Amino acid sequence: MPTATLLTERGKSPVLRFRNGAMTRVVQRWRVDTDDEKEAMTAPELPAYGDVLGPSGDDAGLSVVDHEVEFEGGDYCIVHVIYESAAGSGALNSRPRPAPNLAYTERTYSVQTVNVKYALPNVLVGTGTSHDPNLPIAGGDGAPKEVIATHLVVTIWRSPADYSNADDMGLEELQGSVITNELDLPPIFGTAVPLTYRRRKLRYLFSDVKGEAGLVKIEHHFEARTDHLFHWRKQDDKGNAIGDEQTSAIYEVADFPQAALR
């Protein structure tokens, strides 16, 4: 197996790009002791696709998005390792390039509207007073309220030889359940920031398995909320609220196997 060495001498050191004072691209040059371009890419020292350049400082958030190999004559090749940020060429705005054992999390948000029948207690309105939280809003019709829903998709790529039904681990039985154990998710793609969710903050929705780019693509879908309980108030015969807010569990609960996300 060939060996790669990062070049740092003047004229061959990394090339940096800045945009509005922020570093957005770095190109490293690695010398690999083989005259075979394809074999050069097997050098274990080379940063892999998605590797992060630095956890802090100017180079934080830059990840490997491409490799370029050229034969320079003699008995070695030069591999250009290209790091970019989302503010760079936009490469990280596209789907990550599939590779065996690549795992990452994507997070999206949506705005949903729910109908609220009672006002929040102790929240001042324009007159400097708060609405009686026990009286129904608009004569019982309620009012629309926007809530933010956080959706998480964990993607894991496997080679066909490494994938088996054991990867599913009976997860169909967990669909719709609130996760009762703390769960570590793979980092957001292009970062090294770990994602850890505490007990009962995630609800498992479903998984999807398909073939793509000669690999097996496994997607796990989650929903994140402060809690997954149903909040309601007891009412008298006139529709006025009685007592404190109540919460009820409406979803099944279950532990999620951490090994399924590795």
Say what the pLDDT of residue 114 is: 87
Q: What is the mean pLDDT of the chain?
A: 85
Residue 202, amino acid: L
Query: Considering Cα of 210, then 213, then 215, then 218, what sign does the dihedral take?
Result: negative
Mean pLDDT comparison of 53-57, 81-85, 177-181, 194-198, highest-scoring range: 177-181
CA-nearest of 195, 191, 193, 186 to 61 is 191
With contact defined as beta carbons under 8 Å apart, do 149 and 223 qualify?
yes
Q: What is the pLDDT of residues 192-216, one digit of tens each?
A: 777 999 999 999 999 988 877 678 8
User: Using an 8 Å Cβ cutoff, are 246 and 231 in contact?
Assistant: yes
pLDDT computed for residue 154 by the predictor = 95
Q: pLDDT value at position 90?
A: 45
Q: Is the pLDDT assigned to residue 252 strictly greater than 90?
A: yes
Q: What is the DSSP letter of 39?
A: H
Question: d(Cα 216, Cα 208) in Å, to the nearest integer?
Answer: 10
DSSP state of 229: E
Token pair for 220: 């796990």
**Angle 55-26-155 (CA atoms, 0-180°, nearest 5)?**
55
- pLDDT tens digits for range 31-78: 999 998 888 988 999 998 778 887 656 666 688 888 899 988 889 999
Confidence at 91, pLDDT banded by 50, 70, 90? very low
